[in-house]
Amino acid sequence: MSLKAKNRVDLISRFLILIVVMAIMAVLQPGAFLNWNNLSQVIFQQTPFTLLMAFGMSLAIISNGIDISMASNMVLSSYLSGTFFSEGNYLVGILVAVGVGVAFGLLNGILIAKIKIEPFIATFSVDFVALGLAYVVCDGKYIYGFPEGFRALTNGALIPGIPNIALITIAVFALLYFLTKHTTYGRALYALGHNRKAAKLAGMRADEIVISVYVINGLLASLTGILYLARLNAADPTIKGTLTIDSLASALIGGIAFGGGKGSVIITIIGALVIMFIRNGLNIMGVSTNWQQAVVGMVILFSVFYERGLNLLMLYVAEHKKKRAKAAA
């Protein structure tokens, strides 16, 4: 089976998972779940935040890594920039948020690429550092009351019916899709994730590519933090919530398999929608957050087994076609 055919099967199969999840939620809560107000709220208002983080998680996993620190990076960058945004100093606020996000992304990249610390250990450690600093700087104080012009960044609608947060997420997706699928950088990223030694022998600058992935993740974390400030009208160290687990689940359900070199940000969108519709349906049913975490954990396990089963099925189909071709010859 060709790579294009495999990608098509992968996309269709993930889309079917989304349809099944929506069908289950619609049966369990037909009136509350399956109405446009609820669906549009999930798609246009809630999913973009998870999706921005999931894009970064996807890039890290494609490069044969992982980034546990994005949500805490988002918390720290948003809180440190919050005072400037509340005072209307937008340029300084953006520079602070982006500076903090990039600095921690660069730290991750150096720890992984240059010091050779395993991605999970490096980003897990940086996650604690960033979140700890956020609570130290916060010291129990929260920043409230952002200007309406700033809040319109997320809550406004440049195109009627489509919130700005959704438009920004679409723009980020388009940029990342072009970068990963239509540039030499993207090809090098997949090659690096598939076989780092071979990529190095081919002359690719592996360390620089790895560092760039985590710097991009830092940028995405700071962008998400700014948008969260505008959405919540508050700078709060507790906004991390379930973003880490949700972004990881979105990437895995979207077919971004551990081991690197495989996946697409297109299917990550489907993965994020699956997770957010599950959470939305469970919220409507009044299921506690603890049980929701358990369900998401089971969904992640399911996605791993599903990925293996799909790979075995495609391998069987490919072998069957070879046998038929030999028999015909």
pLDDT digits (tens, 9 = 90+) for 98-148: 999 999 999 999 999 999 999 999 999 999 999 999 999 888 788 888 888
What residues contact residue 213 under an 8 Å CB cut-off, 6+ apart? 59, 60, 63, 65, 109, 189
pLDDT of residue 138: 83
What string of DSSP letters covers 79-116?
HHHHHHHHTT-HHHHHHHHHHHHHHHHHHHHHHHHTS-
Q: What is the CA radius of gyration of the chain?
A: 21
Place of tokens 């600095």: 103
Helix, strand, coil percentages for the chain (3-state, nearest 5): 80, 0, 20
What residues contact residue 123 under an 8 Å CB cut-off, 6+ apart? 60, 65, 66, 67, 68, 69, 108, 112, 214
Whole-angstrom Cα distance, residue 128 to residue 240?
12
pLDDT of residue 149: 86
Whole-angstrom Cα distance, residue 71 to residue 91?
23
Whole-angstrom Cα distance, residue 7 to residue 229?
37
User: Long-range pairs for 163-167 at CB < 8 Å and ≥24 separation?
Assistant: 163/44, 163/45, 165/44, 165/45, 165/48, 165/49, 165/227, 165/231, 166/43, 166/44, 166/45, 166/48
pLDDT of residue 3: 56
pLDDT of residue 6: 67
Task: Tell whether the torsion through CA atoms of 18, 20, 24 and 27 is positive or negative.
Answer: positive
What string of DSSP letters covers 177-219?
HHHHHSSHHHHHHHHHHH-HHHHHHTT--HHHHHHHHHHHHHH
pLDDT of residue 4: 66
pLDDT of residue 5: 61
Q: Which of 102, 267, 108 is nearest to 173 (CA)?
A: 267
> pTM for the complete prediction?
0.90
Do 124 and 249 touch, CB atoms closer than 8 A? no
| Burial state string for 64-98 with b = 16 or more CB within 10 A and e = fewer than 16 | bbbbbbbbbbbbbbbbbbbebbbeeebeebbebbb
pLDDT in tens, the chain (329 residues): 555 666 677 778 888 889 999 999 999 888 889 888 999 999 999 999 999 999 999 999 999 999 999 999 999 999 999 989 998 899 999 999 999 999 999 999 999 999 999 999 999 999 999 999 999 988 878 888 888 888 888 888 888 888 999 999 999 999 999 999 999 999 999 998 888 888 887 888 889 999 999 999 999 999 999 999 999 888 888 888 889 999 999 998 887 878 777 888 888 999 999 999 999 999 999 988 888 889 888 888 887 787 778 778 777 777 777 777 777 76
User: Which token pair is 260?
Assistant: 């690197």
pLDDT of residue 1: 54
Do 304 and 251 touch, CB atoms closer than 8 A? no
Which H or E run includes 38? helix 36-40
